[in-house]
Chains A and B, each alone.
Chain A
């Protein structure tokens, strides 16, 4: 955090000084300060311990440098007294130099969430700096939304906004007639935050963590992260178009998958587990359109180089390489006043399967969402079900959000996992929780 600030701010300062027009309105008028303060409590109903007792301050500053240049900086200061989600001080080896969080003690961290400059030059919009770039039409299920890594600190239970890790990125959007070409260059080798063993949501599912034979000495080495600024950067492009009511996009990315590939090496001394990141091409597209009360949307992506754990003892490194085709189709129904009913169907297919692959060749997940707004959208009630067809496991998330007065929101919720422990969701079967939150905006 500190390092990134040191690296970035001289640039910002220079641009700012160069661009501030003395004749224009006072600086105070061009600066907009806002933010929110959240108090979050999550209580494990099975474990009977608090998973989270957090206070989060998210200040945001926006500065109009010139009419065409705008700077946005968002930081996050978090103190989680429970310290169960990331016990101790995480090593952050998955994070690049410029995207690390700064820890104060074991339960407080500060992170520069976003810091970017927006500029508009003719028909090109540029956003340079630390940011999130989101692709795709699906909610929660990721096929194309792969540009930013994710934190699994709370598995998938926290907000998308918070779960994405913003990256230092150059993002250019160029209008070409009625269409848009977006070119993204990410020179930030930061990948998913995976909770370490001992954390509340540490992974145990054999689909993710290789099962190791008991009694054999095992050495787990630290993940190897790509580190070459230019050579290891990600590049991506999206061509999007609105035509005859259809929102269409064509996407391509040449990027590192954000999940580490966990390889095991048998040696005389035992087993060495190594983790590294692998590059892949992603080619895909998305669509959405509305028919009456129904919105139909979907996305599809083919990743050329994916790695899957295998049970084959004879396998040299315990993973096989294959292409992966994934897609989501979804529909939202808004035919009933104040109701939203949404369903999604997701499949991931290993295109070059091996009989020993741990996960199924085809993974199928469905989601079902019902949301109801009440009292002029003062109160929002929502139930979300995510269910995998392979393991018949899943999670039910129910929540109530209430806007007490302008800028103060209260919320209560429950997250209930079910299914077998080897399942992606079932692994957290004992991590059911209820949550209470207060959010104060300013």
Chain B
């Protein structure tokens, strides 16, 4: 026995020496940690998925402060009768509900909007009058008809407050505390239930506020009910596995300890319990059960070998020490690999709930290990252990097997008898998985978290079918002066913005102060329709607001405009706001705002719930793959370290990989989206799957090293013993989580199903594919030293090399993925990167020789040699280039004064020796090619800098260029005129943050065709200044290329003023 085994034995002797004490200490520890659990703060809001310091969230909060906008709960009164809701009963119902709901403690009575609270703007002889719609109260049909006519004359309310067909109206309820949305939602439901309605009238409650409040509770409630049920099912399975009380109860104690460790730690560290944290319970139960099952199986095997020992505590101690000495290693291995997997999730994830998921799953796994290594041996020693009838000893000290073991033995034998067939089947399954994986789409439809027959689902459908929509995108318009929004040009811009965005089919309608101004303008002009427009006169607009305040409440515009009239909120209604839709709509709107709306005087920003949700949902897809890759890599490394073989690492990933692929295949073919709920399946698949692989490999190694006979003979015991334990591990988890399929929550149903798929795949592939691959590849780490024939060794080495390459590939994919799909919110902004590039020191002056090589498509080359000088005069930059060769251009000189003000054109002179004249040339055509090269005048002029006034920058990702980390920044010209002028429709710079220089720049023409690639190469520090000594530009359209090679670069020698004079140009040197 080796040293570590001795140490292990000593340890377990110690643990079992005072079993009672240790057991009690363990239980007390569990209870103590568990006391923290009630303190855990539940944060089931949508906002939890996005970091609190994300700019979008901060801006949204700021907007909330200015305009008082919250995610409202929406109550709809629907009447499909001939008069719609415009009848005294329905209107009275609206009034009654408005009054009652307004009294709720979490409802701001001033921020409840309905027909009963809103005002009509009508023209009078004096100007206009603002009167409540319900003044006088609509107790008669005639009065109801009047209100109907008034609404018909008030476009602003159509679709937002009253359905365009008059059959529905809304009561929009804004909450004081969004976190208490759930309670308010329940209260409103109670009010609705208690309110008698006439036949034909329906009341629905929905809205973003209701959904975000209720959704989480809904999932949470079901999960809380079903998780214990799962525990019961698992216990039953455990009982079936061992048919002893101890066998069924002890693992549950370990499970409780594990859960207490994870959730207690979360509570202790102030980490909230998020919706997806329910998944954490699942995984921890699975892992804790797995550890217990393997230990217990071993214990029962030991008892079967020496039943007489089980009767006394000393004997039991002996059994436990024997069993634990065998099992501590695989349990530790699985713990390490699982922790590695979760560490990958933790480090790779961007959404806070996912990060914490990874982190505390790792804590829980560690907890499970501690309890398995400490509590379990103590408890097994302490309590009487009845031999399990399922474990019987055979003559040759091998354990006999039950039916389950026999079935597994047959399965194993079948696989081992036809190893190639088994491998081929595995390959087919992988192929199927890959196909399915490609079908997975990132999507999240919030309302689909509810069953279609849930009232909230129905309400959402009804309301969004009839109205403009209950999902809000806010576009906040900011002018740079108080009362800036009295200016007609600004208002027209907003009007155009509304008109443009309303054209998008997904957009239901919009509301802004412009609508009110138009209504007021109409009102003061005898309600004539032709005056439903923005007045041309700034003073008239100011006057309208003043007139309004004479009879109306000035706070009426609180949600549309700030008190300084400098900022306005334009609210767009969306009847649906699923992620796939938003990925099309939001960028289009952003684009319009950036390029068509924004100017120096007025800017718009996107905000609101739709924007916040879009922002965090966007991270799911990118992040998912990244954390997955990282997790796989960590698992691989951990397994490789545990077995001291890279190939072992690769093999242990096979069952995990297969289960992942199958999970994705089920998602792909089953139309299960990769969304909030499903984004953690991969984590669970890895966490649970790796255990099967590690246990199998460890036992294979043990059997192959210690037994004799053929490969198949030596492995024969694998299937009935370890295989059996794994089977019950699999059964406990699969059946346990299949319970979730009975849930009402669609997300939980999918969850249960996918966990079952993941666990089944891991189990079957571990027990079949791994032995088969061991047989085929003969990896050295499984066998005794010197046992492998040289030929097999070669094969094993080949497999090892292959897996090393695969590891490298995985790392590379990960690196690229980190770069490409990296979380955009964590990348520095394009503007800041470009500012750094422009701030890079490129020397107060420089003298340098430049060789230009121009090569055409056919490889024909032309060479020019020049001498160049550059010097800054404050912000002004002067550059001169003198041609030295060839003879026909010798003496040509090019002088530029580049002024600091962007609007001032450069002054440029060209000296042509053939004319002996300095020619003044126009600098307007920055996109022209510089003297026949593939660089434009602008490229030459700016050198490594970038004109900030020409582009709108976005950081897309990070990439490696020439093994250097770079940020990929895209610049889109600010308008089409600039694009034409530059000759570029799009530019992408790969900016190296070490040197603040673009290493590679790609340009597209105005038609979107790939135009040029410019590379800065041979970058060296010269006199402390980073200098690209070689610049290449390849024109993809013409095939022509230019290489600039700089030499004799000198930043220190003074460059005289006179160098930049026309007379010097004439001298040509």
Binding site for B on A (CB under 8 A): 34-36, 60, 70, 118, 120, 123, 125, 127, 132, 134, 136-137, 139, 159-161, 164, 173, 175, 180, 182, 240, 242, 245, 247, 288-290, 292-295, 297, 332, 334-335, 337-338, 373, 375-378, 403, 405-407, 409, 439, 441-442
Expressed in whole angstroms, the Cα–Cα distance for A127 and B919 within the complex equals: 21
The answer to whether B1069 and A376 have CB atoms under 8 Å apart is no
Residues of chain A within 8 A of B928, CB atoms compared: 334, 337-338
Expressed in whole angstroms, the Cα–Cα distance for A377 and B913 within the complex equals: 17
The answer to whether A407 and B1067 have CB atoms under 8 Å apart is no
Residues of chain A within 8 A of B221, CB atoms compared: none
Residues of chain A within 8 A of B1058, CB atoms compared: 120, 123, 125, 175
Residues 1047-1064 of B, flagged 1 when their CB comes within 8 A of A and 0 if not, give 000000000001001110
The answer to whether B888 and A36 have CB atoms under 8 Å apart is yes
The answer to whether A180 and B1063 have CB atoms under 8 Å apart is yes
Closest A residue to B897 using CB positions: A242
The answer, yes or no, to whether B411 is at the interface (CB within 8 Å) is no
The answer to whether A34 and B925 have CB atoms under 8 Å apart is no
Residues of chain B within 8 A of A247, CB atoms compared: 920, 1062
The answer, yes or no, to whether B917 is at the interface (CB within 8 Å) is yes
Closest B residue to A35 using CB positions: B887
The answer to whether B856 and A375 have CB atoms under 8 Å apart is yes
The answer, yes or no, to whether B922 is at the interface (CB within 8 Å) is yes
Identify which of B593-601, B735-743, B860-868, B1013-1021 touches chain A.
B860-868
Q: Knowing that A290-B905, A441-B888 are A-B contacts, what are 20 other residue pairs whose CB atoms are under 8 Å apart, sorted by A's residue number? A: A70-B1069, A118-B1067, A120-B1058, A123-B1058, A125-B1058, A132-B916, A136-B917, A137-B917, A139-B917, A161-B915, A173-B1063, A240-B1062, A245-B907, A290-B922, A292-B922, A295-B920, A295-B921, A375-B1038, A378-B862, A441-B887
Closest A residue to B1041 using CB positions: A376
Binding site for A on B (CB under 8 A): 854, 856, 860-864, 885-888, 890, 905, 907-908, 913-917, 919-925, 927-929, 931-934, 983, 1038, 1040, 1058, 1061-1063, 1067, 1069
Residues of chain B within 8 A of A242, CB atoms compared: 907, 1062
Closest B residue to A127 using CB positions: B1067
Residues of chain A within 8 A of B916, CB atoms compared: 132, 134, 160-161, 164
The answer to whether B888 and A407 have CB atoms under 8 Å apart is yes
Expressed in whole angstroms, the Cα–Cα distance for A195 and B5 within the complex equals: 115
The answer to whether A373 and B907 have CB atoms under 8 Å apart is no
Expressed in whole angstroms, the Cα–Cα distance for A332 and B925 within the complex equals: 13
The answer to whether B887 and A36 have CB atoms under 8 Å apart is yes
Q: Given A118-B1067, A378-B862, A405-B860: A338 and B1061 within 8 A (CB)? A: no
Q: Given A36-B888, A334-B925: A160 and B862 within 8 A (CB)? A: no
Residues of chain B within 8 A of A373, CB atoms compared: 932
CB distance from A107 to the nearest CB of B (A): 25
Residues of chain A within 8 A of B913, CB atoms compared: 161
Expressed in whole angstroms, the Cα–Cα distance for A379 and B805 within the complex equals: 52
Closest A residue to B929 using CB positions: A376
Residues of chain B within 8 A of A118, CB atoms compared: 1067
Closest B residue to A375 using CB positions: B856
Expressed in whole angstroms, the Cα–Cα distance for A293 and B1067 within the complex equals: 27
Residues of chain B within 8 A of A60, CB atoms compared: 887
The answer to whether B914 and A332 have CB atoms under 8 Å apart is no
Residues of chain A within 8 A of B1038, CB atoms compared: 375-376
Q: Given A125-B1067, A338-B929, A405-B862: A161 and B856 within 8 A (CB)? A: no
Q: Which 10 A-B pairs have the closest CB atoms?
A: A377-B932, A441-B887, A134-B916, A407-B886, A288-B920, A376-B932, A406-B862, A290-B922, A406-B863, A441-B886
Closest A residue to B860 using CB positions: A405
CB distance from B66 to the nearest CB of A (A): 43
Residues of chain A within 8 A of B933, CB atoms compared: 376
Closest B residue to A297 using CB positions: B920
Closest A residue to B888 using CB positions: A441
CB distance from A397 to the nearest CB of B (A): 14
Q: Given A134-B917, A159-B914: A335 and B862 within 8 A (CB)? A: no
Expressed in whole angstroms, the Cα–Cα distance for A134 and B1062 within the complex equals: 13
Residues of chain A within 8 A of B887, CB atoms compared: 34-36, 60, 407, 441-442
Expressed in whole angstroms, the Cα–Cα distance for A136 and B915 within the complex equals: 11
Number of A-B contacts (CB under 8 A): 124
CB distance from B239 to the nearest CB of A (A): 83
CB distance from B875 to the nearest CB of A (A): 17
16 A-B residue pairings within 8 Å (CB atoms):
A161-B915, A180-B1061, A242-B907, A245-B907, A292-B922, A295-B922, A334-B921, A335-B922, A337-B929, A337-B983, A375-B856, A375-B1040, A378-B862, A378-B932, A405-B862, A407-B887
CB distance from A182 to the nearest CB of B (A): 8
Residues of chain B within 8 A of A337, CB atoms compared: 925, 927-929, 983
Expressed in whole angstroms, the Cα–Cα distance for A295 and B921 within the complex equals: 6
Residues of chain A within 8 A of B915, CB atoms compared: 134, 139, 160-161
Residues of chain B within 8 A of A377, CB atoms compared: 929, 931-932
Closest B residue to A404 using CB positions: B860
CB distance from A384 to the nearest CB of B (A): 13
CB distance from B915 to the nearest CB of A (A): 6
Expressed in whole angstroms, the Cα–Cα distance for A306 and B931 within the complex equals: 42
Closest A residue to B1066 using CB positions: A134
Residues of chain A within 8 A of B931, CB atoms compared: 377
Expressed in whole angstroms, the Cα–Cα distance for A406 and B862 within the complex equals: 5
Partner of A293, one of B860, B907, B925: B925
CB distance from B601 to the nearest CB of A (A): 25
Expressed in whole angstroms, the Cα–Cα distance for A126 and B863 within the complex equals: 32
Residues of chain B within 8 A of A159, CB atoms compared: 914
Closest A residue to B930 using CB positions: A377
CB distance from A40 to the nearest CB of B (A): 15
Residues of chain A within 8 A of B1063, CB atoms compared: 125, 173, 180, 182
Partner of B1061, one of A164, A175, A245, A290: A175
Q: Given A378-B862, A441-B886: A290 and B920 within 8 A (CB)? A: yes
Residues of chain A within 8 A of B919, CB atoms compared: 295, 332
CB distance from B938 to the nearest CB of A (A): 13
Partner of A439, one of B888, B890, B917: B888
Residues of chain A within 8 A of B1062, CB atoms compared: 240, 242, 247
Expressed in whole angstroms, the Cα–Cα distance for A294 and B928 within the complex equals: 15
Expressed in whole angstroms, the Cα–Cα distance for A137 and B908 within the complex equals: 15
Expressed in whole angstroms, the Cα–Cα distance for A29 and B933 within the complex equals: 29
Expressed in whole angstroms, the Cα–Cα distance for A180 and B905 within the complex equals: 24
Expressed in whole angstroms, the Cα–Cα distance for A125 and B1064 within the complex equals: 9
Residues of chain B within 8 A of A439, CB atoms compared: 888
Closest B residue to A175 using CB positions: B1058
Closest A residue to B887 using CB positions: A441
The answer to whether B862 and A294 have CB atoms under 8 Å apart is no
Expressed in whole angstroms, the Cα–Cα distance for A182 and B861 within the complex equals: 41
The answer to whether A409 and B929 have CB atoms under 8 Å apart is no
CB distance from B64 to the nearest CB of A (A): 48
Residues of chain B within 8 A of A288, CB atoms compared: 920
Expressed in whole angstroms, the Cα–Cα distance for A173 and B920 within the complex equals: 20
Residues of chain B within 8 A of A334, CB atoms compared: 921-922, 924-925, 928
Q: Given A376-B1038, A406-B886, A407-B887: A160 and B920 within 8 A (CB)? A: no
Expressed in whole angstroms, the Cα–Cα distance for A160 and B923 within the complex equals: 26
Expressed in whole angstroms, the Cα–Cα distance for A161 and B887 within the complex equals: 14
Residues of chain B within 8 A of A245, CB atoms compared: 907
Residues of chain A within 8 A of B923, CB atoms compared: 290
CB distance from A420 to the nearest CB of B (A): 30
Residues of chain A within 8 A of B914, CB atoms compared: 159-161
Closest B residue to A162 using CB positions: B914
Expressed in whole angstroms, the Cα–Cα distance for A441 and B863 within the complex equals: 12
Residues of chain A within 8 A of B908, CB atoms compared: 290
CB distance from B873 to the nearest CB of A (A): 12
Closest B residue to A32 using CB positions: B884
CB distance from B661 to the nearest CB of A (A): 52
Residues of chain B within 8 A of A173, CB atoms compared: 1063
The answer to whether A406 and B861 have CB atoms under 8 Å apart is yes
Q: Taking each of B888, B920, B1063, which has the highest tally of chain A beta carbons within 10 Å of its own beta carbon?
A: B920
Closest A residue to B1056 using CB positions: A120
